[in-house]
Amino acid sequence: MKGKYLLGGLLMAILGAAIALFTYTKIVETPSGVVVKDSSNAETPEARALLTAFQNQPGQVDFTYAAEQTVHAVVHVTTKTVVETPYNPFMEWFYGNRYNQPREVPGYGSGVIISPDGYIITNNHVIEDAGNISVALNDNRKFDAELIGRDPNTDIALLKIKATNLSFLKYGDSEKLRIGEWVLAVGNPFNLGTTVTAGIVSAKGRELGLLESEYRIESFIQTDAALNPGNSGGALVDTKGMLVGITSAIYSPSGAYAGNSFAIPSSIVGKVVADLKEFGEVQRAIIGVNIRDVTPEEAEKQNLAEIKGAIITDVREGSSAADANLKKDDIVVKVDNVAVGSASELQAEVGKRRPGDKVTVSYYRNGKLSSVPLTLKNVAGSTAVVTPGMGIGTAFGARFQTLSDSEKRSLRTESGVKVTEVGDGWFKDQGVRKGTIIINVNGKKVNNAEDIRQAADNNEKSLKSIEGFTPDGRYFNFRFGN
């Protein structure tokens, strides 16, 4: 009996030694912690990111995998813009005709490759008004870039270069980002070359008032990752190297990094880019209301549990909202099953959809919660595809921007739009220039491009008169035809 116990003990000892030896070959103890050897074949981003996290020292986060995946997919964007010099007779007297000649202004930013065949996302403000756009890859190859389309309302533009087998980034899910989660910003600040910085998600759904369009969509991801001039259009990625945003702005008194950086969420970027790639124009769905954030007084009046939602201040005739019988002072709190806590969140949620999509809107009216189905429409009031030239902010080949309150006060007008771009179409044919202010079309006040289209019944042949101010401030009132 005693021999059996001795034999059993010997077998247990041998088994224990074997296990210890096997374990030692997989784990190496170091004075600073435990290091896991990479003997696997991790193929997915999730597996590889998890492995690098295991390999890292206790209490630290490893960014090497995300950085390696990103740096070769971020490019440097260079632009050249021809700027007209305002006529100045005194400067011409001193310096001659050369002073009043157009001059070429260089610009730069970043971009993100999203496909192996050369589609690149950047910010609209990086390439706006540029006559020439070029791209430099991380391996120093340079290409001329074609502008596929742009959307000033989200500050997104899509470029294309002639190249193949490029490194690129896949979209991540910005909706699943959590406050406090680590992210990387990759771009080209100060034209130094590709640079990686890290930070955490500080907030989501930020509205800054940076975009001036009436139809702007601002729902920024705020981070404390360092961004500086030249980062615009670069990538914001999670620790798996997935694209969760396009870096767009910093909030700083000096113009350089001061702790607050902002990126456009990939949930918005992906939809805008898909539209530009397929149609050349964003298929923007709208409800057809004017909205603003809810005040504490309005929330109390409607018996809201929280001061959240978007209150309707006006319903446009013939819009989706009018068809669904939404009314002034209704407070929208949900689109489908997604809660909206502010006017910017409502705009962002609707902006992810296309005209013709059906949604259910939940709202409070007189303290009672109700829901109503509605079909989203485009800016022209239909569900048809929007073609280049009839998108938000455009009318008859030109692009317009609503005047600010200060501009209206300086011009002593209650209405008006500024011409920000003139393409092929009626306004170009009539000699209308960038910077022109239009306050009246066919005897009707205008405050946006949609007003101009409606005043002309969506037909440029119906344009009979325009009233406004030239770029140098002179009043005009032109009439056309009979």
- The pLDDT of residue 318 is 83
- β-partners of residue 156 are 123, 151
Choosing from 110, 125, 320, 415, which is the catalytic residue? 125
pLDDT in tens, the chain (482 residues): 444 444 455 445 555 545 444 444 443 333 333 333 333 445 566 655 555 554 455 556 778 999 998 999 999 999 988 776 665 665 555 566 665 666 778 889 999 999 999 999 999 999 988 889 999 999 889 999 999 999 988 999 999 999 999 999 999 999 999 999 999 999 987 767 788 999 999 999 888 777 766 677 888 999 999 888 888 999 999 999 999 999 998 766 666 666 788 999 999 999 999 999 999 888 988 898 889 999 999 998 888 889 999 999 988 888 899 999 999 999 999 999 899 999 989 988 998 999 999 999 999 999 899 999 999 998 777 888 877 666 666 778 787 877 766 778 888 888 888 888 787 778 888 888 888 999 999 888 888 777 888 888 878 888 888 999 988 888 888 887 65
- The pLDDT of residue 458 is 76
Homologous superfamily of domain range 174-279: Trypsin-like serine proteases (2.40.10.10)
- The pLDDT of residue 86 is 60
- Structural contact between residues 198 and 225, judged by C-beta atoms closer than 8 angstroms: yes
Write the secondary structure of the chain as one string of H (helix), E (strand) and C (coil). Answer: CHHHHHHHHHHHHHHHHHHHHHHHHHEEEECCEEEECCCCCCCCHHHHHHHHHHHCCCCCCCCHHHHHHHHCCEEEEEEEEEECCCCCHHHHHHHCHHHHCCEEEEEEEEEEECCCCCEEEEEHHHHCCCCEEEEECCCCCEEECEEEEEECCCCEEEEECCCCCCCCCCECCHHHCCCCCEEEEEECHHHCCCEEEEEEEEEEEECCCCCCCCCCCCCEEEECCCCCCCCCCCEEECCCCCEEEEEEEECCCCCCCCCCEEEEEHHHHHHHHHHHHHHCCCCCCECCEEEEECCHHHHHHCCCCCCCCEEEEEECCCCHHHHCCCCCCCEEEEECCEECCCHHHHHHHHHCCCCCCEEEEEEEECCEEEEEEEECECCCCCCCCCCCCCCCCEECCEEEEECCHHHHHHHCCCCCEEEEEECCCHHHHCCCCCCCEEEEECCEECCCHHHHHHHCCCCHHHCCEEEEECCCCCEEEEECCC
- The pLDDT of residue 372 is 95
76 classed as catalytic: no
Cα–Cα distances in Å, from 179 out to 62, 119, 182, 202, 393? 18, 30, 9, 6, 34
- The pLDDT of residue 27 is 37
- The pLDDT of residue 36 is 36
For the chain, what are the domain ranges?
Answer: 71-160, 174-279, 289-375, 394-479
pTM of the entire structure? 0.73
- Which CATH number is associated with domain 289-375? 2.30.42.10
Contacts of residue 429, defined as CB under 8 A and 6 or more positions apart, other chains included, come to: none
Q: Are 289-375 and 394-479 in the same CATH fold?
A: yes
Pick the CATH number of 71-160 from 3.30.450.20, 2.40.10.10, 3.20.20.70, 3.90.1520.10: 2.40.10.10
- The pLDDT of residue 411 is 83
Give the class (CATH, top level) of 394-479. Answer: mainly beta
Q: How many Å is the maximal CA-CA distance in the chain?
A: 121
Choosing from 110, 202, 232, 248, which is the catalytic residue? 232
Phi/psi region, residue 280 (left: phi>0; alpha: psi -120 to 50; beta: rest), is left
CA dist., res. 23 & res. 376, Å (int): 61
Choosing from 155, 275, 330, 451, which is the catalytic residue? 155
